[in-house]
Structure 1
Amino acid sequence: MLAAAVCATQAAVAAPSVATLERSHWPERIDSPVLFDVASRAHILLFARSLLASESQDEAQLTTRLGLRQINLLAINDLRQRLWQRLWANFDLAQQSCEQDASFCYAIDSESELRTQAADLGIDPESFYAGFAVPGQVFSEAYLNELLRLAAVSPQTTSEVQLLSEQEFDGNGFADRTFLLSFDGGPGPVDGTTDALTGYLRAQDLSATFFVPGQTLQARAEKTSVAQLQALYAGQCVATLGWQYVSHGQWDKWQDSVLRSIALLQADLPDSYVPWFRPPYGQRRADSGGFFAGAGLKVALWNIDSMDDDSRLTAQQAGERTLSLMLLWRRGIVVFHDTLAKAQTAVPWLMRETAQTDIAWQACADVR
């Protein structure tokens, strides 16, 4: 998703790297709420160090760093400010368990003190966590580049890194340790990956929001039946990606695309339908808030992208990336693609890895 959004407007010098991190570099299982906090603090501090270092680079250096021809420095600075606010809020939550485990705990009481600690951060070569230091920093640098690149090409190309109206949400406003699982692009072929994932979720007493293109949903109903479509999504939530999985940022028929899809969902899946629109690639018009308000729709973005749609990532890497970002942001909307086989491996792995951390997987129907 991230790469597609950028390439829509500017040619990069080379394909941007995707942040991945083998969880084996972290030396202990994250099998308790306290150990979730320890890993969370480590990720926040390393990412804060990367963010702080990026602020010393001027516009020309950032342009080269991001592999773009030109950048929107004001948008980058605005994103940095919001990132610092989230990092401090998350670190403050993560340090509440420092009495149980003092790893990566410091006397930090404000955003400015977090900046100071990030600048001074060092992981001793003899530390239990020494093996995480370099891979963790590499991951932080690569992920920061992904975010900065999205900000750099705005407002010509909108994305998930900025909310444009009160109708939009991305999961950063959820309660601590609360996550919503979401999938894009389905339904897939009969008895394919979408069927497997919805069956798995029901068996685990979990729910997710499935964002579907209207024409794909219609084709599946015509091949089977509306009743079978309803059975497919029983216990789950279904929202729209528009009629086609194409950018709605410049398309002159974007409003018709959204309204036509809503009508189909309301008619065929009334028990599963939720009034949300997810813009493909995160691209939508900057002045679209009034339309969505008038249509009674929320724009559901995301803040944790598995990148399972990137051919360079394996299913394991997509799952590991997702867990790393969950530790960093501590709440949010996770996105996978139910038409890809990777999610069938990555999602169960993610559930096993977080089973003892006391995180909450939000029931999709309860999100307002």
Structure 2
Amino acid sequence: MTPHDFSNEVPGSFAIPLLEDLDTLGSDLDQLWQRAAVTAPRQSVMTGRTAALPAAEFTRLYRCCMEELERLSCLDQGIRPMGRGAVNMLCYAVLPCRTLREIIGRVIEFNDAMEDRGGEISLEESGDTAVFSMQVPRKRYDNPALLVDITGLYFYFQLFSWMVSRRLPLSEVGVVYGKPGKHYPLMELFERPVSFGAVANRLAFPGDCLDLPSTRSLTELERIIDHFPFDLSAGAASGRASPSQIRLLILDAIQSRREVPALETAAQLFHTSPATLRRRLREGGTSYSEIRAQCQREIAERLLSNRELSIESIAEHVGFGSDRAFRRGFHSWTGLSPSEFREGLASKR
């Protein structure tokens, strides 16, 4: 399966099945849309009139949709969702492990401690193949539950890959569900066809990968914990960072009002070294600082079109420590002060 390169946009068709499932479940899509801060009208996306969404907006929308689907799925099952806190604790719990085998063993122990919130997780070795299985008992094995379980499998795939600093070479991705009646592009994240009707939700990979050493430290984990698991575009990129994918990472951080990760953190998220990331960006004719400045400028110019926002609030939103620093930075980008740029927008209306 060919890896996706979403560049700066993701087809709107990726969002439609998620929204349709949530609408069927009676979710408040208007509230979800507002929380995800998507600029295009919802109906325009759902009817296909909006062909694509900015990649950062789609990433936020995907996250909001999955949080809602997990909440509804757990409500149906009568259990509590794992929650972000438990997911973070799991990441810290596996950190001292020395090999992938130990990492998966610790995941199983953690999952057992979660009791009904974690379902059943196991590791089996058969010949040259290792199989990681995740089974969550459900009252209904419908499309929303399928998406929740696929996202769970992808989280573990990302965690294992990050811990051993390489993308785990999957030989199979299987789910217990029957083949859905509609296409979910998100299933292509693993870059392998998903097998339906399997005995369990599972990931199969070469057994010798279990002996891969863990290479991560507490400092590295603390740098990425707020960004993990990584977003759709980078996850589908086989760990090869490109300027467009770095742009997606930075845009998403700024628009979500999170701290922009340092270059070293971005390199970890792409399972590569800082030196390699610098070289790849240089080959693309840019640098990490240049991409960050371009993203800050793009968002600042958009926010300045809203006259209800103060210069101070915009400066904070795009990551400047003071409005004075923002004014200097904005002038270096455009040759204008933020106020002059805003007045210029007003005169064109």
Shorter-normalised TM-score: what interval?
under 0.3
Larger Rg: 2
Greater RCO (CA < 8 Å, at least 6 residues apart): 1
| TM-score of the superposed pair, with normalisation by structure 2 | 0.28
